[in-house]
Chains A and B, each alone.
Chain A
Amino acid sequence: MTSRRLPLEISAGQARLLEVDGLVMRYDTEAGEVSAVENVSFSLGRGESMGLVGESGCGKTSVALSLLRLAPENARYQSGSVLWEGMDLLELSDQEMREYRWAEISMVFQGAMNAWNPVYRVGEQIREAMDHHFDPPLSTVETSRRMDRLFNLVGLDPAVQNRYPHELSGGMRQRAVIAMALSCEPKLIIADEPTTALDVIVQAQILEELKEIQEDLGLSILYISHDMAVIAQVTDIIGVMYAGKLVEFGSTRDVFHGPRHPYSYLLLSSIPSVTGPRRRPVSLEGTPPNLLAPPAGCRFHPRCPWATEQCRTDEPPMMQIGPSQWAACWNSEQVPEMGEQLP
């Protein structure tokens, strides 16, 4: 299958910061080869924010880790490229890649508690990143000045840096994680489930702050979440992944209002809408496929209510549906409008 880069007019005029092109990544396991990321392509510009959604195990985190080349050691990149400002990250040496990490792309990990090493103070762990990425190294005074600024930026008392991770509340920890992600002035932050473990109020605050920081600093952010609501709130572009494949891609607005892939549709419909028209929540039946032996044709066909014979045999390519919307479905026209009752 040929890979096609998706032209994105949505944010035309900006230089592409990140272009992922036909990325195929597999895990070697004893049970066989797991097809974790299958021909995924997308791109992201400066200052844009993008969301990747999908169920657990659909490969969104694998994509994110691929950007940092941090996938587990049994991962193999079959084909495709990850271009960062035109340079293929997959071609870099380990040493070069290490220099890229955090300085260019940093990450806010899911489950902020586990992202902290419990035996070191928060400040130490942030300082550590700065120590390795500034050349010439920052002076001690400069480091602590920056540190104070970072903590102020994420709305934390700078005194927090002298505390241990477990001494902080969930919200504080997550803010500190963001501070850490910002510490080396990256151009892109990957936020992997940044708010999953938090209560709704803190969640909203943090998302708001992230958004502000993004705008202030002109950052790009790649959000990764299974929570459509979160994505809708903060992103410009959205990609929906299913079983290692990107099934729908487009501006957040378009995809939310008119999903054209059955999976996106069902995913969105499963969220009860509080504000929109009242509708019966639709449940997504079945379980995601076993990626050791993914189904032939469209990977979603076993669970798709609109599946046809073609879906079982031929894999649908990414097709442009609207001006800023693409979907990989043979029968995208059959997908009902949001709010319509299912037949």
Chain B
Amino acid sequence: MVRYVTRRLIQMVFLFLVFLTVTWFLLYILPGDSVALKYAGNPNIPPEAREVALERLGLDKPVLIQFRDYMFNFFQGDLGVSFNQYPRPVVDIIAERLPRTLVLFLAALVTYYWAGFLAGKYLAWRRGNRGEMLVTIGGVGLYSMFLPWFAFMMIWLFSVLLDWLPLSKFLDPEQWRDAPFRANQVFMRLFWVTLIASVALFASGFIARQTRSRRLGRTLRWGGGALAVGGFFFYWYGVDSGQVMRVYAGDIGFHMILPVLVLTLINFAGVMLLTRSSMLETLREDYILTARAKGLPERVVRDRHAARTALLPVATSLVLAVATVIDGGVITEAVFSWPGMGEILVSSVLSEDIPLAVGAFSFIGILALIGHFVVDILYGVLDPRIRVTEHG
């Protein structure tokens, strides 16, 4: 196991190096450079100014030297400074954008996976039902909806026609006037509090599964759940820091509803169909027949036996999707005025801001690599069969 993990890690590092190199050079060979693009529109800037700018950004050095310097700094934790927002360090910019993107897209991801999984489960279970074709076609229709257009229609519906939800942005400036926090602090707090609550939930469930005694297990499961949810609310209502921040967190949450809804509608069908396939395969397994023969209620057969095993590929794809949340946001972030990593990705590439673009790309790469790695580990947790094959 240790050897396997080590080998995987070495492979990952190597792969990452190659990825970094390819991205860097790909961006480098783009026509023009950051300075040319920036100054092309301003005839009042004399040529000398361009040279000054090039020198300042280090773009006057030979390619290989630039690359060597970049890599050297990269592995010392210095991602350089953005060309376009000179002299702002890339790390700063990413730190500013990442929390927003993470919170929005993780919330959307969890929601649409949850919705998709439920829908898929029922679709497989009630196979041949009249609704099946309707739901499938409707789901696929939504799935292939042209995202920007659909998003605008939803904004129009919910924010203009019904006037239930805010138009766009992630906060209401007038409410945030003189806020004691920066939005990122709130995003981070939201992220951590929710993460801790979820981990507590998951852990209590996991421990409950390990216990021999059923009663203890049930107590643990529900107790842990209640504690996690209770803790979550206690934090926002009982703890001073949470109370103060609650209004702001609520505002952000309120602004999140529409993008999460849109992303859910667009994406749930993919998960639904994956779950359906996976579940249909599971339903053909002998142990489903065993479970039925044991006289278990249908609900237990469906949820405990069929869906639990069918969860495997769904969970895998969830983890891989987590790894891609950053680049999924290009359109959504623009439409909902939610400037995050997706916006960075596009704008840095278009303005040939190499350090920022490579920084953002490498972040995505690292997330994806970790995602793949976690999938392997997760598979072991979810499917006991894998655990052993790994040993052997």
Query: Is A164 an interface position by the 8 A CB rule?
Result: yes
Q: In whole Å, how far is B123's beta carbon from the nearest beta carbon of chain A?
A: 15
Contact indicator A109/B384 (Cβ below 8 Å): no
Contact indicator A103/B295 (Cβ below 8 Å): yes
Contact indicator A164/B294 (Cβ below 8 Å): no
Q: A114-B286, A117-B287, A127-B214 are in contact. Are A164 and B385 (CB under 8 A)?
A: yes
**Chain A hits for B214, CB < 8 A:** 127, 131, 140, 143
Choice from A100, A114, A133, A166 contacting B287 with Cβ under 8 Å: A114
Contact indicator B308/A102 (Cβ below 8 Å): no
Which of B291, B294, B295, B382 is packed against the most chain A CB atoms within 10 Å? B294
Contact indicator B215/A140 (Cβ below 8 Å): yes
Docked complex Cα distance between A107 and B294 (Å): 8
Docked complex Cα distance between A109 and B290 (Å): 7
Q: A107-B293, A129-B295, A133-B295 are in contact. Are A119 and B383 (CB under 8 A)?
A: yes
- CB-contacts of A77-134 with B (<8 A): 98-103, 106-107, 109, 111, 114-119, 127-129, 131-133
Query: Is B305 an interface position by the 8 A CB rule?
Result: yes
Choice from B215, B293, B309 contacting A106 with Cβ under 8 Å: B293
Query: Is B303 an interface position by the 8 A CB rule?
Result: no
Q: A127-B214, A164-B385 are in contact. Are A115 and B287 (CB under 8 A)?
A: yes
Contact indicator A140/B213 (Cβ below 8 Å): yes
**Chain B hits for A101, CB < 8 A:** 292-295
Docked complex Cα distance between A268 and B374 (Å): 56
Contact indicator A132/B296 (Cβ below 8 Å): yes
Contact indicator B305/A117 (Cβ below 8 Å): yes
Docked complex Cα distance between A119 and B311 (Å): 11
Contact indicator A119/B295 (Cβ below 8 Å): no
Query: Is A238 an interface position by the 8 A CB rule?
Result: no
Query: Is A68 an interface position by the 8 A CB rule?
Result: yes
Contact indicator A128/B292 (Cβ below 8 Å): no
Docked complex Cα distance between A98 and B296 (Å): 7
Contact indicator A99/B295 (Cβ below 8 Å): yes
Q: Nearest chain-B residue to A177 (Cβ)? A: B290
Query: Is B297 an interface position by the 8 A CB rule?
Result: yes
Query: Is A167 an interface position by the 8 A CB rule?
Result: yes
Q: Nearest chain-B residue to A65 (Cβ)? A: B289
**Chain B hits for A99, CB < 8 A:** 295
Query: Is B172 an interface position by the 8 A CB rule?
Result: no
Query: Is B285 an interface position by the 8 A CB rule?
Result: yes
Main secondary structure of the interface of B (DSSP, over half): helix
Query: Is B388 an interface position by the 8 A CB rule?
Result: yes
Q: Nearest chain-A residue to B387 (Cβ)? A: A164
Give the size category of A's interface with B: 20 to 34
Q: Nearest chain-A residue to B291 (Cβ)? A: A117
Docked complex Cα distance between A52 and B144 (Å): 53
Q: Nearest chain-B residue to A117 (Cβ)? A: B287
**Chain A hits for B383, CB < 8 A:** 118-119
Contact indicator B286/A132 (Cβ below 8 Å): no
Contact indicator A164/B384 (Cβ below 8 Å): yes
- CB-contacts of B207-261 with A (<8 A): 212-215
Q: Nearest chain-A residue to B384 (Cβ)? A: A164
Docked complex Cα distance between A118 and B306 (Å): 11
Which of B215, B304, B382 is packed against the most chain A CB atoms within 10 Å? B304
Query: Is A70 an interface position by the 8 A CB rule?
Result: yes
A 143-171 binary contact with B (CB < 8 Å = 1; else 0) = 11000000000000000001010110000
**Chain A hits for B384, CB < 8 A:** 118-119, 164, 166-167
Contact indicator A102/B287 (Cβ below 8 Å): no
**Chain A hits for B215, CB < 8 A:** 140
Q: In whole Å, how far is B250's beta carbon from the nearest beta carbon of chain A?
A: 39
Q: In whole Å, how far is A273's beta carbon from the nearest beta carbon of chain B?
A: 33
Choice from A109, A133, A166 contacting B385 with Cβ under 8 Å: A166
Choice from A70, A140, A143, A164 contacting B293 with Cβ under 8 Å: A70
- CB-contacts of B272-330 with A (<8 A): 285-287, 289-297, 300, 304-305, 308-309
Contact indicator B287/A116 (Cβ below 8 Å): yes
Choice from B212, B213, B286 contacting A109 with Cβ under 8 Å: B286
Contact indicator A119/B382 (Cβ below 8 Å): yes
Docked complex Cα distance between A133 and B293 (Å): 12
Q: Nearest chain-A residue to B282 (Cβ)? A: A117
**Chain B hits for A131, CB < 8 A:** 214
Docked complex Cα distance between A106 and B296 (Å): 12
Q: Nearest chain-B residue to A118 (Cβ)? A: B385
Q: Nearest chain-A residue to B295 (Cβ)? A: A101
**Chain A hits for B294, CB < 8 A:** 101-102, 106, 128-129, 132, 180
Contact indicator B297/A98 (Cβ below 8 Å): yes
Contact indicator A132/B293 (Cβ below 8 Å): no
Contact indicator B295/A132 (Cβ below 8 Å): yes
Q: Nearest chain-B residue to A127 (Cβ)? A: B214
Choice from B213, B286, B293 contacting A68 with Cβ under 8 Å: B293
Q: Nearest chain-B residue to A130 (Cβ)? A: B294
**Chain B hits for A114, CB < 8 A:** 285-287
Q: A118-B385, A119-B382, A166-B385 are in contact. Are A102 and B286 (CB under 8 A)?
A: no
Contact indicator B309/A118 (Cβ below 8 Å): yes
Docked complex Cα distance between A144 and B211 (Å): 13
**Chain B hits for A111, CB < 8 A:** 286
Q: A114-B285, A114-B287, A140-B215 are in contact. Are A128 and B296 (CB under 8 A)?
A: yes
Docked complex Cα distance between A132 and B289 (Å): 16
Q: A70-B292, A99-B295 are in contact. Are A166 and B309 (CB under 8 A)?
A: no
Contact indicator B388/A166 (Cβ below 8 Å): yes
**Chain A hits for B388, CB < 8 A:** 166-167
Which of B215, B287, B295 is packed against the most chain A CB atoms within 10 Å? B295
Q: In whole Å, how far is A165's beta carbon from the nearest beta carbon of chain B?
A: 8
- CB-contacts of A164-189 with B (<8 A): 164, 166-167, 180
**Chain B hits for A116, CB < 8 A:** 287, 290
Q: In whole Å, how far is B209's beta carbon from the nearest beta carbon of chain A?
A: 9
Contacts beyond the supplied A109-B289, A140-B214: 4 A-B pairs with Cβ under 8 Å: A98-B297, A107-B293, A114-B287, A128-B296
- Can you report 14 residue pairs joining A to B where beta carbons are below 8 Å apart? A102-B295, A107-B293, A109-B290, A115-B289, A117-B309, A118-B287, A128-B304, A129-B295, A132-B295, A132-B296, A132-B297, A143-B214, A162-B212, A167-B388
6 tightest Cβ-Cβ pairs between the two chains A and B: A101-B295, A114-B286, A164-B384, A129-B294, A117-B287, A98-B295
